[in-house]
């Protein structure tokens, strides 16, 4: 891990001294120049605190994320580990990038994505809460994909979670989310027609766009919830929503796939509405791809007593209920 040493001379002052100087400047008792001379506080620091009353007190440069924001990020990282979807360095940077974008605050991060220095500083600051470990199940699944060991470990976690929540005999409280993509671009295939016929036509479903995604949602008692349909487009047109399943939701993304922010929005606005009458706690199983995990998703789920469980990678063809059981 990188180690940094402070170089050069730095003025030191207490929080009380800074607040006193700011108070006198704001009351007009002394100028910023006089406050700098009397209290040994740089005028730039005084100006920054006057411009932003919520700025961090104390010497040194303010952090890009406040303590409360970093604490929420740590909570999300810990929760992801409990959901059997532990985060690597790249996953933490991904979730932080999404989180910073959702905050719409100005930071020194390039395109809202923090760098290595921030990561090392962040993990060092929160070393009492976060610790690097080699994830046994994840490592083995990457090496040998889906095998008996990985599947057995997953069912151990699932059984523990079901018993912990007390829902073994409550199938309505066990729900599976799964997305599937449909390609509607006929250019990707060849068809056979009478020799000499040019430009054959083909009837295709949906909007005629290259790709769309359907997010299915089914409870273990057989209840089917309205699907959520995503088109690959910038704008959603009314004609694309005509004739669909009753209660279905519609949206668009640049890729046509379910992204983290889209899943979090759908979860809060539609999923929680559809399960509002179901007894809590609720267990939701879904593909644990890192792009599905966001700070908003985790905090919203925890606030509504909804518990997430990520399925191990490369195993959805045998473990995903909506792939093999419906």
| Residue 160: burial class (beta carbons within 10 Å; 0-12, 13-18, 19+) | exposed
pLDDT-derived band at 57 (thresholds 50, 70, 90) equals: low
CATH number at residue 182: 3.30.420
Is position 135 within any domain? no
**Of 44, 62, 80, which one is at a domain's C-terminal end?**
62
Q: Are 206 and 212 in contact (CB under 8 A)?
A: yes
Strand 249-253 with 174-183, pairing: unpaired
Domain membership of residue 19 (yes or no) is yes
Query: What whole-number distance in Å separates Cα of residue 234 and Cα of residue 168?
Result: 43
Residue 9 placed within a domain: yes
Give CA–CA dist 79/279, Å, rounded: 22
307 & 169 share domain? yes
Q: Are residues 56 and 79 in the same domain?
A: no
In a domain, 91, yes or no: yes
Least confident of 70-84, 247-261, 264-278, 309-323: 247-261
Q: How far is CA 56 from CA 32, 50, 51, 65, 100, in A?
A: 19, 12, 12, 10, 18
Same-domain status, 172 and 299: yes
Closest by alpha carbon to 103, among 269, 256, 299, 236?
299
Residues 221 and 306 occupy one common structural domain: yes
pLDDT band (50, 70, 90) for residue 191: low
Residues 22 and 118 placed together within one structural domain of the fold: no
Same domain, 189 and 218: yes
Residue 221 falls inside a structural domain: yes
Quick check: 208 pLDDT over 50?
A: no
**How many Å from the N-terminal Cα to the C-terminal Cα in the chain?**
48
Report the domain count for the chain. 3
Residue 31, domain CATH: 1.10.10.60
- Cα 123 to Cα 177: distance, rounded to the nearest angstrom: 32
Average pLDDT over the chain, rounded to an integer? 79
Between CA 8 and CA 289 the distance in angstroms is: 46
Q: Alpha-carbon distance 291 to 254, whole Å?
A: 14
Most confident by average pLDDT, 60-64, 166-170, 183-187, 296-300? 166-170
| Angstrom distance (rounded) from CA 216 to CA 193 | 36
**pLDDT at position 256, please?**
62
Establish if 270 belongs to a structural domain.
yes
Residue 83 and residue 174 in one domain:
no
Please indicate, yes or no, whether residues 120 and 192 belong to a single structural domain of this protein.
no
Q: Are residues 237 and 155 in the same domain?
A: yes
Same domain, 106 and 243: no
- The yes-or-no verdict on residue 9 having pLDDT over 80 is no
12 and 103 fall within a common domain: no
Q: Are residues 183 and 295 in the same domain?
A: yes
Report pLDDT digits (tens) over 210-240: 578 888 899 999 999 998 888 888 888 888 8
Question: β-strand 249-253 against 282-287: which pairing, if any?
Answer: unpaired
Q: Which domain holds residue 3?
A: 1-62
d(CA 11, CA 42): 8
Identify whether 108 is part of a domain: yes
Tens digit of pLDDT for each residue in 69-102?
888 898 888 888 887 778 888 889 988 998 888 8
2 falls within a domain: yes
pLDDT of 19-43, one tens digit each? 788 888 888 889 999 999 998 888 8
Q: Average pLDDT for residues 119-139, to the nearest whole number? A: 76
pTM: 0.64
- Tokens 């523990």, residue? 160
């Amino acid at each position: 891990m990188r180690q940094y040493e402070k170089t050069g001379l730095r003025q030191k002052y207490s929080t009380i001294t800074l607040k006193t100087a700011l108070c006198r400047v704001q009351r007009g008792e002394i100028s910023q120049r006089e406050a700098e001379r009397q209290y040994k506080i740089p005028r730039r620091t005084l100006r920054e605190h006057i411009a932003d009353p919520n700025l961090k007190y104390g010497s040194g440069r303010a952090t890009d994320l406040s303590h409360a924001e970093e604490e929420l990020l740590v909570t999300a990282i810990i929760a992801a580990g409990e959901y059997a979807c532990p985060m690597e360095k790249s996953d933490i940077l991904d979730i932080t990038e999404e989180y910073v974008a959702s905050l719409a605050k100005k930071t020194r991060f390039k395109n809202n994505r923090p760098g290595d220095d921030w990561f090392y500083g962040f993990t060092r600051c929160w070393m009492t809460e976060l610790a690097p470990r080699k994830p046994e199940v994840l490592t083995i699944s990457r090496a040998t994909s889906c095998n008996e060991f990985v599947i057995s470990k997953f069912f151990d976690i699932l059984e523990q979670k079901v018993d912990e929540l007390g829902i073994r005999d409550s199938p309505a409280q066990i729900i599976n989310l799964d997305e599937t993509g449909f390609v509607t671009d006929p250019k990707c295939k060849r068809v056979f027609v009478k020799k000499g016929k040019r430009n054959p036509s083909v009837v295709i479903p949906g909007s005629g766009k290259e790709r769309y995604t359907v997010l299915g949602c089914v409870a273990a008692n057989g209840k089917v919830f309205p699907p959520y349909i995503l088109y690959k487009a910038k704008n959603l047109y009314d004609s694309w929503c005509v004739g669909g399943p009753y209660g279905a939701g519609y949206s668009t993304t640049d890729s046509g796939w379910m992204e983290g922010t889209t899943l979090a929005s759908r979860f809060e606005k539609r999923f929680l509405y559809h399960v509002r009458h179901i007894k809590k706690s609720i267990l939701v199983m879904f593909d644990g791809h890192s792009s599905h995990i966001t700070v908003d998703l985790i905090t919203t789920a925890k606030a509504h007593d909804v518990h997430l469980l990520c399925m191990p990678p490369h195993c959805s063809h045998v473990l995903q209920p909506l792939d093999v059981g419906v």
